[in-house]
Structure 1
Amino acid sequence: MIRRLSLLFLLMFSTSSHGQTLMVLGDSLSAGYRMPIEQAWPSLLSEKLREKGKNVTVINASISGDTSGNGLARLPGLLNQHHPDLVLLELGANDGLRGFQPQGIEANLRQMIHLMKQQHTGVVMMQIRIPPNYGKRYTQMFSDIYPRVAKSTDTPLIPFFMEDIITRSEWVKPDGLHPRQEAQPWIANFMATQLQPFL
């Protein structure tokens, strides 16, 4: 009995000390666009999660300019390499900015979620919104992709952090699309709060 309890304690201690691995699969919004990678919000996220009692290793697999198609192509290799417990899916903005067909974007997101669930990897998707460059109809069609995919695949959908950033001009780069370095700690804290329930 004592031996059994000791083994149980050892297993529990090993699991808690090892923690979890979170992989951020995104584009320039997560890759630290034109700033040192250590200042990008994913690099600050582990500490913010630790403050909330979560022991999490964060892998930033984001690449500036990536589309949902690029993410889909890279995903199998990333899953095999890192074996994450949870993936934050932050992709689609570049598709929308280039006017890609919403059906193709949706198909890519669905396929990525399917691949992750096949490997028993948790996934959380971020709502993405784009400026109305292609008109109100396209912008709405694009935005509608995310809640539809989330609902049909039973995938948690978290808010788009840029909706808060964009209201503070001192936090936005001159291109009007990317957060400045000064905004990264706020984003990291926001993301830690959003992701905590899934870790």
Structure 2
Amino acid sequence: MRRFLCLLLLLFVGAAAVQAAPARSVLVLGDSLSAAHNIATEQGWVHLLEVRLGKMVPPWALVNASISGETSLSGRNRLPALLATYRPAVVVIELGANDGLQGLPLAQLRDNLVAMVSAAQATHARVLLLGIELPVNYGPQYRDGLRAIYADLAKQKHVGLLPFLLDGVALQPALMQDDGLHPTAAGEPRVLANVWAVLQPLLNG
């Protein structure tokens, strides 16, 4: 009887530990495209993702560390503290659009992305890169170079890749704000669908 009671106690403690275990977490490090620019926060794709993750069993937590105007350099500088604080299992990096819009050297962007991916992988986090496309007036050489950075880095570092975050959205006027750069609330579910297709496999390990 005593052995049986001890066994029940161990099972109870084990079950309580599972229930008390912290939720697995996803860290999103991005710019205004992930910071719900000019729309309500709850309409942005990151919040929509947070809701979906919270319904999973067991649930995932989400930390949105995105800031409008963020460049790859500022994201690189902020990432180590975020990794130490939140210890995410998955890191989603959505940076590079502001580098490109400012015409910053592509080599600088690549170095910063490499550093961020390496820092995340050093903590055993899985990484997803979200790529972006620039307007055609930036010219084919610069646009192709930007696109190649994400593709090459994903292969070299063995990380997930969404080549174009706004695929199926950017060329739909009804889904884009007047600035032509940011989705409307109506476009955000499609953005989430793009991200989810490549994020879900990382959540499954």
TM-score, normalization by structure 2 = 0.86
Residue 141 of structure 2 is aligned to residue 144 of structure 1: no
Query: Structure 2: how far apart are the matches of 1:124 and 1:90?
Result: 9
Question: What displacement does 1:13 show?
Answer: 3.7
- Counterparts of 2:158 and 2:150, CA distance in 1: 12
Unaligned segments of structure 1, at least 5 residues: none
C-alpha contact 2:53 2:61 (8 A) present in aligned 1: no
Q: 1:135 aligns with which of 119, 139, 144?
A: 139
Q: In structure 2, what is the Cα distance between the partners aligned to 1:70 and 1:179?
A: 23
Counterpart residue identity of residue 57, structure 1 = A
- Partners of 1:123 and 1:14 in 2: CA distance: 27
Contact 1:22 1:57 in 2 (8 A): yes
Q: 2:174 maps to what in 1?
A: 170
Distance 1:152 1:8 in 2: 44
What's the secondary structure of 2:136's corresponding residue?
coil
CA contact (8 A) 1:165 1:171 kept: yes
Q: Where do residues 180-195 of structure 1 align in structure 2 (5 Å cutoff)?
A: 180-195=184-199
Partner SS state of residue 165, structure 1:
coil
CA shift, 1:109, in A, is 0.3
SS at match of 1:123: strand
Report the counterpart of residue 77 of structure 1 in structure 2. 81
Which stretch shows the higher mean deviation, 100-109 or 54-63?
A: 54-63
- Please identify the structure whose Cα radius of gyration is greater: 2
Q: How does 1:85-96 map to 2 (within 5 A)?
A: 85-96=89-100
RMSD: 2.4
Give the equivalent residue in structure 1 for 2:69: 65
**Partner SS, residue 133 of structure 1:** helix
Q: Which runs of 5+ in 2 are unaligned?
A: none
Q: Does 1:36 align with 2:4?
A: no
Matched, 1:10 2:15: yes
Distance 1:48 1:118, change over 3 A: same
Deviates more, 1:41-50 or 1:171-180: 41-50
Cα deviation, residue 37, structure 1: 1.9
Point out the more displaced range, 39-48 or 183-192.
183-192
Aligned sequence identity (%): 34
